[in-house]
Amino acid sequence: MELSDAGLSWGTKQTIRALGYGASAKVGMKFRPAWWQTEPFNIAKGGISRTDLPLRVCVYPSYNIKSNEGEDKWDPEKPAVLLCSYTWGQDAQRIGSLCSNNTTQDDAELKRLIIHDLARLHARRERPFEEMVTFLEEQYIDHHGYDWYRDQNMSGAFAYFGPGQFSNMWQEIIKPNALGQLYLVGEAASSHHAWIVGALESVIRAVYVMFQGLQNGNEKFEAYDIVLKLLRTGPDNGKNVSEPLKKDGDMPTGLPFHPLPEEMPTRQFYTTKDKDLTASPEKEANEEGVDMTYGAALAVLSLIESFYELGVDKNDTY
């Protein structure tokens, strides 16, 4: 990706260069019945198994099970998919080396390994290992393995912060760049690494900081106030989750992401609760007992940093 004209700050560029991505791989298998839910295994409510075998973690689905479907609708003979292996780091690289980008026939060794490990993991006195291998091969329909490190659009599964990197580099990821016009979002820009909710929260944080920065330039523009209120308040529909967030023609009263992410505090670290908050640097400088909000301060400081690092001529500003 060409970033030479992106207007990134020095700290953000260094972070992009230094921060690594972790490996992760998954292998799913489709079986004729959901055998793990039946006798003698009786794994009927989902969950995980951990082992020192190469598959490491086996995840049993918590959907399409008897307690959810009901006695009448649940069919134990219906084909089902089991997440046989979920790995990270070096374990994922080893499993990933057996995953094929083409067809399941090209990774027969992966199938053999997973069947072997599943049999070891689930062998019982009633069904010993050799019998378990035969049983699984008979019930097998298909499988699919995926290695995120070999994904051409990802080249890794999730941000993998090394020792000291989170405390030193994460703040460089979340701050605005390019004079407040560029914001990095995604799970790497969240304290909840490797989770979809982290990616969503990073978007809320970035939009909130962006509008606080815009509000610095025009405090009287009502639309900015509406957006900021929308982002920092919850939906006014009580506990009735089926009730819509807004009626036709009305603005919603809040977002389901409320409250703001943990990394998006309202106040700066040193600000006491008895002080009033503002998005205006001028008010903070000229009025007693007033401090800027965390988001507004972050936007202003990043803007100043961009002016210096990008060498913006003061005659080109307003």
- Cα dihedral 95, 98, 102, 106 sign: negative
- For all residues of the chain together, what is the average pLDDT? 84
Highest mean pLDDT among 153-167, 245-259, 302-316: 153-167
**pLDDT of res. 111:** 95
Q: Is 257 a member of any domain?
A: yes
Same domain, 105 and 182: no
Task: Centre a 10 Å sphere on the Cβ of residue 27 and count the other Cβ atoms it contains.
Answer: 27
| Through-space distance between the first and last CA atoms of the chain, rounded to whole angstroms | 32
Same domain, 139 and 166: no
Rounded average pLDDT over 107-120: 95
Q: Is 44 a member of any domain?
A: yes
**pLDDT of res. 283:** 78
Reduce the DSSP state of residue 267 to 3 states and report it: strand
The Cα 60–Cα 128 span in angstroms is 21
Residue 250 has pLDDT above 90, yes or no: no
Residue 81 has pLDDT above 70, yes or no: yes
Residue 237 has pLDDT above 60, yes or no: no
Closest by alpha carbon to 171, among 3, 14, 21? 14
Same domain, 128 and 264: no
Same domain, 213 and 85: no
Place of tokens 């979809």: 196
The Cα 174–Cα 117 span in angstroms is 42
Q: Is 9 a member of any domain?
A: no
List the domain range (segments joined by +) for residue 195: 161-316
**pLDDT of res. 318:** 47
| Percentage with pLDDT > 90 across the chain | 34
**pLDDT of res. 241:** 47
Same domain, 194 and 68: no
Helices (H), 76-123: 89-96, 108-122
Work out the pLDDT band at 272, boundaries 50, 70, 90: confident
178-226 pLDDT per residue, tens:
888 899 999 999 888 888 888 988 998 899 888 888 887 777 888 888 8
**pLDDT of res. 110:** 95
The Cα 44–Cα 34 span in angstroms is 10
Looking at 122, 150, 178, the residue that finishes a domain is: 150
Same domain, 168 and 146: no
Q: Which residues contact 118 (CB under 8 A, 6 or more apart)?
A: 29, 55, 58, 84, 132, 136
Same domain, 123 and 199: no
Work out the pLDDT band at 281, boundaries 50, 70, 90: confident
Residue 78 has pLDDT above 80, yes or no: yes
Looking at 126, 150, 174, the residue that finishes a domain is: 150
**pLDDT of res. 90:** 94
Q: Is 131 a member of any domain?
A: yes
Q: Is 14 a member of any domain?
A: no
Strand partners, 277: 291
Q: Is the peptide bond before 259 cis (omega within 30 degrees of 0)?
A: yes
- pTM over 0.85, yes/no: no
**pLDDT of res. 136:** 97
Task: Centre a 10 Å sphere on the Cβ of residue 256 and count the other Cβ atoms it contains.
Answer: 10
Phi, psi of 140 (to 5 degrees): -65, 135
42-64 pLDDT per residue, tens:
888 889 999 999 999 999 998 87
Phi/psi region, residue 178 (left: phi>0; alpha: psi -120 to 50; beta: rest), is left
Rounded average pLDDT over 5-11: 89
Rounded average pLDDT over 4-23: 90
Closest by alpha carbon to 193, among 162, 161, 171, 163? 161
30 secondary structure, DSSP code = E
Same domain, 239 and 207: yes
CATH of the domain at 119: 3.90.660.10
User: Helix 10-18 and helix 165-174: axis angle, to 10°?
Assistant: 130
The Cα 291–Cα 308 span in angstroms is 24
Strand partners, 67: none
**pLDDT of res. 256:** 64
Residue 238 has pLDDT above 60, yes or no: no
Q: Is 155 a member of any domain?
A: no
Looking at 150, 172, 189, the residue that finishes a domain is: 150
Domain count, the chain: 2
Same domain, 222 and 305: yes
Contact in structure between 61 and 82 (CB atoms under 8 Å): yes
141-169 pLDDT per residue, tens:
999 999 999 888 888 899 888 898 888 88
The Cα 149–Cα 8 span in angstroms is 26
Same domain, 136 and 281: no
Same domain, 94 and 208: no
Residue 5 has pLDDT above 80, yes or no: yes
What is the strand order of the sheet 57-60 is part of?
Answer: 47-50, 57-60, 80-88, 24-31, 140-147
Same domain, 185 and 286: yes
Which comes out higher in pLDDT, residue 116 or 286? 116
